[in-house]
Amino acid sequence: MRTTLPYARHGVMTLAALLLAGTATTAHAQFSGPESGGGSSDSAAAPASSDSGKAGKVGKAEKRGERRSKRSVEITPYLEVGQVLTADLKNDGDVLTYTRLAAGVDAVVSTRRAEVAATVRYEYRIGEAGNIGDSDTISGLLRGRYQLARGLNLEAGVLATRSRADGQGADDTIFVGNGSNTANVYSVYAGPTFARRIGGLDVGAGYRFGYNKVDVETPATVVPGAFSQDIFNSSTNHVAWGSVGQKPGDLPFGWQVSGGYQREDASQLDQRFDGKYARADVTVPIGPTVALLGGVGYEDIEISQRNAVVDTNGIPVRDANGRFVTDPNSPRQLAFETDGLIWDAGVMWQPSRRTSLTARVGRRYGDTIYTGSFYYRPGHATQIQIGVYDGISSFGRGLSAGLAGLPTQFDPTRNPIDGDINSCQFGAQGGGCLNNALSNATGAQFRSRGVQGIFTSRAGGWSYGIGAGYDRRRLLVPALSAIAALNGTIDENYYLFASIGRGLGPDADISLAGFYNYYDNGAPNALDVQSYGGSLVYSRRFWRGLTGSAAASITGFDQDGFNSQLIGSALVGLRYNF
């Protein structure tokens, strides 16, 4: 191996069948990573929703019943006008007021062949009082699936949102205008998936194409002496995988062989990721609810890039957007390389179709890895999903995988003040968060380890959603490059998002949301950043599609004393749904 781093019988048979249902997703997990868990790609095992979690979901008959009861097409175009006031409560800053005009469409579609959840919005802001000019934004989120034929689906997703460009820069979580450290993020992916039982074998395959782009108007203002990370520009990525396996029956164990290939080409520093794998897995039931898992295979991964242009003092040159300037004449340098044996072993506990727990330990990337998942659905309206992941990823591949891991049925929600999409989305199929992918638009590849948990529930007229997690990134940069100071940098991100809502009769509703993020930046001389906030929204329908709303929020961030703000905001507005 070569690794280079810059630094009862019926009960048993039922369990075995559940373990191998969804063969395609087990193979896909080798590259897709913790999709529903959000975060990296290339994980050794996906969390609850893709590896064993799908086996733990409700049975086929129950799912068919749920689909029949939820078949609907709800497409709601709307126009909106609102007046916003926002003020810095901590630094005696300006009081800003502006009018926002918006047009958009919200859609939730569930039919026999199609499932789509989408929200798209264009907003124009007219500055009034304070130091704010006119600006406009477009934001949206779409996740969909269409059944082309039995077992063959077309999957797609689109995201347009705003985020921090640099993890060590400012973050007030309300993006008004084109302020410092604001990144406009665009992502799209599409591809077919196939999963079907053919001649007693479970056959699965898939392909996914992804494109990601980040626009930065003004780079982050950081503490003097800090060495800022590179900022992602654009990339394309391709993922292809296939598998074939068999449930226990003719044999006392289940088996599967799988393989895959992934390629990413990034514009920044002409970066390239190239990875492939092949492996064999077995599942051995040892009781009515417990099975042993094991797999072995071969993997080959190479990450390379060109050097940055340096000035006469040997300092890397940056462009106006804070990105390193690529030296097109420099030779390619390795940031990471490994090829050789990979393996993992674990155990799965499946006491019912509603509960599943998987834990694995193995060897990959020249290191020991730990992965796992937990799925629990005590009732049709409540779900808990937890995923533990370990993989190699990038901003582009992680965003594509996170977008693909969102459910196809959720209730799109937005920040009530700036209208942007919330980082976590929840619905009847569970939920997902993109906090890991959006926390820092770094241009570097990285090793990503972490955990994410999702809780969703509906009870007594209330709907709840909680997403929380931890992500640890170790940057992979060529050790002899001009930016070698970033090699081995460890960034850690802690996050929490929660929302609760309730209808107040047929014409009114109220919702609350809160969040907390802590970003521990490991770049040389960089400062940590924490942000937090909460919002309250009351809406009431006056006549047909005309709804009025009032909202208030408070958000803050602190950059270890170097820069901090506490911002209060209020909104009153009208919306007409067609």
Mean pLDDT, the chain, whole residue set = 83
Q: Give me the CATH number covering residue 330.
A: 2.40.170
Count of structural domains within the chain: 1
Task: Return the SS3 of 226.
Answer: coil
**What pLDDT does residue 15 have?**
37
Q: Which two tokens stand for residue 520?
A: 């521990």
Tokens standing for residue 467: 């997403």
- DSSP, collapsed to helix, strand or coil, labels residue 253 as coil
Measured between alpha carbons, how far is 470 from 204 in angstroms, rounded to an integer?
Answer: 31
pLDDT at 220: 63
Q: Which of 507, 578, 497 is nearest to 538 (CA)?
A: 507
Q: Report the distance separating Cα 181 and Cα 559, nearest Å.
A: 13
Q: In angstroms, how far is CA 452 from the centroid of its own chain?
A: 10
**Residue 561: which pLDDT band, with cuts at 50, 70 and 90?**
low
CB atoms within 10 A of CB 330: 16
* Closest residue by Cα to residue 417 from 84, 188, 35, 21: 84
Tens digit of each residue's pLDDT (9 = 90 or more) over 416-470:
888 888 888 887 777 888 887 787 788 899 999 999 999 999 988 899 999 999 9
Could you tell me the two tokens for 522? 């490991």
Residue 503: count other Cβ atoms within 10 Å of its Cβ. Answer: 14
Place 71 in a pLDDT band, splitting at 50, 70 and 90.
confident
Q: Could you tell me which of 405, 486, 481 has the C-alpha nearest to residue 445? A: 486
- Cα angle at 371 between 440 and 6, to 5 degrees? 55
State the average pLDDT over residues 254-260: 96
Q: What pLDDT score does 179 carry? A: 52
Could you tell me which residues come within 8 angstroms of residue 62 by beta carbon, excluding any fewer than 6 positions away?
A: none
| Distance in angstroms (rounded) separating the CA atoms of residues 252 and 283 | 9
Q: Is the pLDDT of residue 83 over 50?
A: yes
Nearest residue to 575 via CA among 541, 552, 533: 541
Q: Tell which residue, 221, 222, 236, 139, has the closest CA to residue 186.
A: 139
Q: What's the pLDDT tens digit per position in 260-309?
A: 999 999 999 999 999 999 999 999 999 999 999 999 999 999 999 999 99
What tens digit of pLDDT does each residue of 19-39 get? 333 333 344 555 544 343 333
DSSP-assigned beta bridge partners for residue 3:
338
The model's pTM = 0.83
Higher pLDDT, 450 or 411: 450
- What whole-number distance in Å separates Cα of residue 306 and Cα of residue 481? 8
pLDDT digits (tens, 9 = 90+) for 477-492: 999 999 998 898 999 9
Q: What is the mean pLDDT of residues 301-319?
A: 93
Residues 568, 172: Cα–Cα separation, whole Å: 11
pLDDT digits (tens, 9 = 90+) for 348-395: 999 999 999 999 999 999 899 999 999 999 988 899 999 999 999 999
C-alpha of 470 from chain center: 13
pLDDT of residue 330: 94
Residue 212, pLDDT above cutoff 60: yes
Domain that holds residue 343: 2-577
168 pLDDT band (50/70/90 cuts)?
low
State the Cα–Cα distance between residues 343 and 48, nearest whole angstrom.
20
